[in-house]
């Protein structure tokens, strides 16, 4: 058998390290070697890695996240270029088959033989399959590798029910995966509770209730006696030890793991009576040239560790020893924090209260699936604990294990409002507290950095199980405040969600419950008041608030334009814009507008949105003007609101020889559907009857262009200071498809946009951009579409013309006076002078210098 020689001169004459196994621990070991300069690139060692799986190391802890959309590549633990940079020879799909300790060689399946000076076994473990009849039937799986996962996914396509044997950590992961695949899922656990290793009886009970509420069926205290198969050899059920049986199409064995020590046994290394390669405190096996790390090793404390953190510690210790330094692994605690099926589960330290004389402090709420237990020693030190349902405190409690808590332990387990909880922020931790137990990184080391990516890169903290990431975030300098204003630390879209989910109907209620501490009970400010007013108005029919913008407290939230339902102009007068849907108007209505303008002395101008603006009305004239307009069949054009302005149209197929659809009718339908819709900013639209695009639809927030087959919908267009052509969202839509898509698009925008953010900037800002929006509103990737459509249906059903509602109500009309103490006196400062046969404001009366502009919002048209 030829013996492989080093491929380059670089590694000629230097010792060779052969690593068997490239899992999480194997990769951590390689990184530790690289950190210590023990690499071919550094000219100090040849490093060969034999990997059985077809891909380099990946994050097995996060395996289930494959089903929530992470690809095998996302799960990879190997930084691109890592092997090349350090000159490491990684041989994937080529496992070690035998070891000749005498000759110090390893032979791989490919037949190639490698000499070693140091051999490191990181072969991990294999899933334990209980020796029950039928365990090899078609449809029986284990849950360990990406390949296992792919096989289960494939088989589940033709399955309805699945059963997982084992209710431990991995079993529940597997159950979550089956449920995610749409199967009716059963969990069969031999022990009397779920996760028997990690949590105690109370924690297991809380977990059980929560998991059952998710629709999984749990059988505890029963064993699997047989897996039955049909005539086709495929699994069709299971017989349980209590005599019952279970119909199932698929079985996943997840009843624990066993160390993979066969290679070691074959070459005569010492193994434990129940498996595991015997190692000393330096992780050295019975052969001093051979080390074993991770789940295949039987550590010096007589335990096999099935968690990644102790494996990493072993990897570091061995790298240190090979580098010639002193290091040891003498045992680790079994602290874990996981999110299983969406439930937080954590245990740390002496979770079962094994220490003599220790006492439990327990809070349990079966109703909400909460269970918290702290184990306190006789001298008051925290020894360990179990957290189920809410494990936020894990990050701070675990590093405090072994110390006396600064507050009474019961205060840490009680829920808010019951005398607790006292939140022990990570700032209360000492600098030497270990924050990331996977990589053994202390608070002090983390605080040397300023961003999470930097921390991950430089210290590896947060790259293991990820449970410490939240605490790391709290230790780092906080990013610039993203809040809406001085009153709210939330963004507009977050406030929208709060109002929607909690059904908040008043501004004061929102400020007092969700405002910044110092702003609660105050008057708010000019930024958040109209923003919240708009959110409540757009959700009014859904949350049960009054939709009329001038009712009750709403009246005090609106900018003056919304307050008087008209547009304030520079001299304190207002302009009036009646709605002219689609820009279509009868001669009779045109005459009414002309007569009103003439009778009230108003300046008239055609707007860019195909309607007519009447300028120069005093506050007290507004109701009189609108009484005439409403009588003639007009309604509010909402030129004053952050809401739909107009849907402009070309004349379309009806008259135009090029037109292919009735663009005017569509424009009218859309304008009437979305009129009055309150949004983060104004909304404009247009419909063109053919590709010549005379309505300039691609300059609008949502623009529609007719095709011979139907309608193309474009979104995110804008004119103004930063013009942007709208992007095509979907094409050749029927009338109904078009309306449904616009419903979804607008509601998604209203839900997620920032204050005063037009659709164009919103589309450029949100993660994933147009593709994401298309996924959400066309392909329903978030499952939101039903709700978005319902919200729009609520709006359409709840619409009432604000001006008609105002002039019919004396109480509402009371505000339309210039002076509270002289209702009949006109405003002496609102005067006009002639210009080009009409009027313009008499600015001499105002006679003040024009000073700096603070912000410019709320233009009409």
Residues engaged in binding other proteins (CB under 8 A): 486-487, 508, 518-519, 521-526, 529-530, 553, 555-557, 559-561, 563-564, 568, 570-572, 814, 818-822, 825, 827-829, 843, 845-848, 850-857
Find out whether the peptide bond into 421 is cis, omega within 30 degrees of 0: yes
Q: Which lies closer to other proteins via its Cβ, residue 512 or residue 595?
A: 512
Strand 235-240 to strand 245-247: parallel, antiparallel, or no bridges (unpaired)? antiparallel
- Cβ 691 vs Cβ 720: under 8 Å: no
Nearest Cα to 160, choosing from 249, 53, 35, 279?
249
| Dihedral pair phi/psi, residue 312, rounded to 5° | -65, -40
Distance from C-alpha of 691 to C-alpha of 689, rounded to nearest angstrom: 7
* Burial annotation 473-493 (CB, 10 A radius, 16+ → b, else e): bebbeeeeeebbbbbbbbbbb
- Cβ 128 vs Cβ 256: under 8 Å: yes
- Residue keyed to tokens 């399946």: 109
Nearest Cα to 198, choosing from 170, 163, 164?
170
Q: Which lies closer to other proteins via its Cβ, residue 450 or residue 518?
A: 518
DSSP reduced 3-state for 440: coil
CB of 856 to other proteins, least distance (A): 8
CB of 569 to other proteins, least distance (A): 9
Check residue 753 and report its DSSP letter: P
CB of 487 to other proteins, least distance (A): 8
Q: Which lies closer to other proteins via its Cβ, residue 36 or residue 678?
A: 678
Q: Which lies closer to other proteins via its Cβ, residue 714 or residue 816?
A: 816
CB of 820 to other proteins, least distance (A): 4
Half-sphere exposure of 460 (CA within 13 A, CB side): 18
Q: Which lies closer to other proteins via its Cβ, residue 574 or residue 714?
A: 574
- Cβ 625 vs Cβ 576: under 8 Å: yes
Q: Which lies closer to other proteins via its Cβ, residue 287 or residue 620?
A: 620
- Cβ 694 vs Cβ 711: under 8 Å: no
Tokens of residue 733, six digits: 């839509």
Among left, alpha and beta (phi > 0; psi -120 to 50; other), residue 324 is left
CB of 836 to other proteins, least distance (A): 23
Check residue 712 and report its DSSP letter: E
Nearest Cα to 253, choosing from 185, 174, 177?
174
Q: Which lies closer to other proteins via its Cβ, residue 82 or residue 548?
A: 548
Q: Which lies closer to other proteins via its Cβ, residue 416 or residue 851?
A: 851
Strand 224-229 to strand 113-115: parallel, antiparallel, or no bridges (unpaired)? unpaired
Distance from C-alpha of 314 to C-alpha of 821, rounded to nearest angstrom: 84
DSSP reduced 3-state for 520: coil
CB of 544 to other proteins, least distance (A): 22
- Which residues is 793 bridged to in the sheet? none
CB of 191 to other proteins, least distance (A): 59
CB of 483 to other proteins, least distance (A): 14
- Crossing angle for the helix pair 735-752 and 492-502, nearest 10 degrees? 110
Distance from C-alpha of 486 to C-alpha of 523, rounded to nearest angstrom: 11
CB of 460 to other proteins, least distance (A): 44
Q: Which lies closer to other proteins via its Cβ, residue 708 or residue 856?
A: 856
CB of 645 to other proteins, least distance (A): 20
Residue 205: how many other CB atoms lie within 10 Å: 18
CB of 682 to other proteins, least distance (A): 17
Q: How far is CA 830 from CA 575, 612, 827, in A?
A: 13, 22, 6
CB of 525 to other proteins, least distance (A): 3
Distance from C-alpha of 79 to C-alpha of 735, rounded to nearest angstrom: 50
Distance from C-alpha of 527 to C-alpha of 432, rounded to nearest angstrom: 44
CB of 530 to other proteins, least distance (A): 7
3-class DSSP string for 170-183:
HHHHHHHHHHHCCC
Q: Which lies closer to other proteins via its Cβ, residue 784 or residue 845?
A: 845
Q: Which lies closer to other proteins via its Cβ, residue 141 or residue 490?
A: 490
CB of 678 to other proteins, least distance (A): 17
- Which residues is 385 bridged to in the sheet? 348, 374
Q: Which lies closer to other proteins via its Cβ, residue 336 or residue 567?
A: 567
DSSP reduced 3-state for 227: strand
Distance from C-alpha of 311 to C-alpha of 317, rounded to nearest angstrom: 10
- Cβ 162 vs Cβ 185: under 8 Å: yes
- Which residues is 99 bridged to in the sheet? 106
Q: Which lies closer to other proteins via its Cβ, residue 477 or residue 828?
A: 828
Q: Which lies closer to other proteins via its Cβ, residue 9 or residue 853?
A: 853
Q: Which lies closer to other proteins via its Cβ, residue 157 or residue 854?
A: 854
Nearest Cα to 703, choosing from 687, 718, 690?
687
CB of 637 to other proteins, least distance (A): 20
């Amino acid at each position: 058998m030829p013996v492989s020689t080093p491929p380059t001169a670089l590694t000629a004459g230097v010792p060779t390290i052969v690593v068997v196994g490239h899992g999480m621990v194997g990769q951590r070991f390689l990184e530790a070697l690289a950190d210590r300069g023990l690499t071919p690139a550094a000219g100090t060692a040849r490093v060969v890695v034999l990997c059985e799986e077809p891909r380099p190391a990946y994050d097995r802890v996060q395996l289930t996240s494959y089903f929530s959309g992470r690809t095998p590549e996302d799960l990879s633990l190997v930084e691109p270029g890592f092997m090349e940079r350090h000159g490491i020879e990684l041989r994937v799909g080529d496992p070690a088959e035998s070891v000749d300790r005498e000759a110090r060689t390893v032979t791989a399946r490919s037949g190639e033989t490698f000499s070693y000076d140091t051999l490191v076994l990181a072969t991990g473990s294999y899933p334990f399959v209980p020796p029950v009849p039928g365990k090899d039937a078609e449809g029986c799986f284990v849950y360990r590798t990406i390949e296992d996962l792919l096989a289960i996914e494939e088989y589940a396509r033709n399955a309805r029910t699945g059963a997982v044997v084992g209710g431990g950590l991995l079993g529940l992961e597997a159950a979550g995966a089956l449920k995610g695949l749409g199967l009716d899922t059963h969990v069969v656990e031999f022990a009397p509770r779920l996760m028997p290793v990690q949590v105690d009886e109370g924690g297991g009970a809380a977990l059980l209730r929560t998991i059952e509420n998710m629709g999984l069926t749990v059988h505890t205290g029963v064993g699997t006696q047989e897996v039955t198969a049909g005539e086709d050899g495929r699994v069709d059920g299971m017989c349980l030890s209590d005599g019952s049986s279970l119909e199932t199409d698929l079985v996943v064995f997840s009843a624990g793991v066993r160390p993979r020590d066969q290679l070691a046994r074959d070459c005569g290394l010492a193994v434990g009576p129940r498996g595991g390669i015997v190692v000393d405190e330096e992780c050295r096996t019975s052969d001093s040239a051979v080390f074993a790390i991770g789940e295949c090793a039987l550590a010096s404390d007589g335990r096999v560790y099935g968690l990644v953190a102790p494996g990493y510690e072993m990897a570091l210790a061995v790298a240190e020893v090979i580098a010639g330094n002193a290091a040891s692994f003498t045992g680790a605690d079994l602290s874990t924090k996981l999110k299983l099926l969406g439930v937080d589960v954590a245990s740390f330290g002496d979770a079962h209260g094994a220490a003599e004389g220790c006492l439990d402090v327990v809070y349990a709420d079966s109703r909400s699936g909460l269970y918290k237990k702290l184990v306190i020693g006789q001298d008051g030190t925290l020894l360990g604990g179990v957290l189920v349902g809410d494990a936020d405190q894990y990050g701070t409690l675990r590093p405090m294990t072994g110390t006396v808590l600064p507050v009474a332990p019961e205060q840490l387990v009680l829920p808010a409002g019951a005398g607790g909880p006292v939140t022990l922020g990570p700032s209360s931790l000492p600098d030497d507290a270990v924050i990331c137990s996977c990589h053994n990184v202390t608070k002090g080391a983390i605080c040397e950095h300023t961003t999470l990516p930097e921390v991950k890169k430089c210290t590896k903290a947060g790259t293991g199980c990820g449970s410490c990431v939240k605490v790391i975030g709290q230790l780092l300098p906080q990013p610039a405040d993203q809040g809406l204003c001085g009153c709210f630390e939330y963004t507009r879209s977050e406030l929208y969600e709060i109002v929607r989910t909690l059904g908040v109907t008043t501004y004061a209620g929102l400020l007092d419950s969700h405002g910044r501490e110092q702003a609660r009970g105050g008057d708010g400010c000019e930024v958040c008041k109209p923003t919240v007013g708009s959110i409540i108005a757009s959700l009014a029919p859904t949350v049960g608030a009054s939709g009329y913008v001038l009712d009750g407290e709403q009246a005090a939230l609106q900018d003056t334009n919304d307050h008087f339902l008209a547009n304030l102009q520079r001299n304190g007068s207002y302009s009036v814009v009646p709605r002219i849907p689609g820009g279509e108007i009868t001669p009779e209505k045109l005459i009414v507008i002309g007569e009103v303008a003439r009778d009230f002395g108003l300046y008239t101008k055609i707007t860019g949105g195909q309607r007519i603006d009447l300028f120069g009305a005093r506050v007290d004239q507004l109701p009189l003007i609108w009484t005439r307009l409403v009588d003639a069949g007009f309604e509010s054009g909402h030129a004053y609101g952050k809401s739909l302005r107009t849907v402009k149209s070309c004349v379309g197929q009806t008259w135009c020889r090029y037109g292919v659809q009735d663009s005017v009718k569509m424009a009218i339908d859309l304008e009437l559907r979305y009129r009055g819709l309150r949004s983060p900013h104004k909304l404009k639209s247009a419909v063109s009857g053919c590709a010549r695009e005379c309505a300039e639809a691609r300059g609008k927030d949502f623009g529609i262009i007719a095709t011979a087959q139907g309608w193309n919908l474009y979104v995110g267009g804008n004119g103004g200071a930063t013009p942007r052509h709208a992007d095509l969202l979907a094409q050749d839509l029927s009338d109904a498809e078009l309306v449904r898509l616009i419903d979804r698009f607008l509601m998604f925008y209203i839900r997620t946009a920032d204050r005063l953010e037009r659709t164009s900037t919103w589309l450029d800002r949100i993660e994933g951009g147009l593709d994401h929006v298309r996924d959400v509103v066309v392909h329903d990737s978030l499952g939101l579409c039903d709700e978005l459509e319902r919200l729009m249906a609520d709006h359409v059903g709840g619409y009432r013309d604000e001006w008609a509602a105002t002039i019919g109500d004396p109480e509402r009309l009371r505000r339309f006076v210039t002076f509270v103490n002289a209702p009949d006196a006109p405003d002496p400062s609102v005067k006009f002078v002639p210009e080009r046969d009409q009027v313009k404001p008499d600015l001499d009366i105002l006679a003040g210098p024009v000073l700096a502009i603070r912000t410019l919002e709320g233009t009409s048209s």
